[in-house]
Amino acid sequence: MDSADFALRAYAEGRADGVARRHDRERGDDADYRVGLADGELEAFEADLIAAIRKAMDGKR
């Protein structure tokens, strides 16, 4: 595997951890992991926000 493969794997694992709301502290120095983690956390936040808006708007039509 070349460095691009490792970077993509680190990003994907970070994103999966972010969506699952967990953090691998041992990988905290890996920039690709951290970017993926932030993207996953943002995706989870957006899903929660949309769910909260839908719940708040339910029955108000």
Q: Record the tokens describing residue 60, joined without a space.
A: 């108000």
pLDDT of amino acid 1 = 76
Please report, in tens digits, the pLDDT of each residue of the chain (61 residues total): 789 999 999 999 999 999 999 999 999 899 999 999 999 999 999 999 999 999 999 867 5
Contact 36, 15 (CB under 8 A): yes
Tell me what pLDDT residue 22 has: 95
Cα 1 to Cα 7: distance, rounded to the nearest angstrom:
10
Supply the pLDDT for residue 26.
Answer: 93
Comparing C-alpha atoms, which of 31, 33, 32 is closest to residue 23? 33
Task: Note the pLDDT of residue 59.
Answer: 66
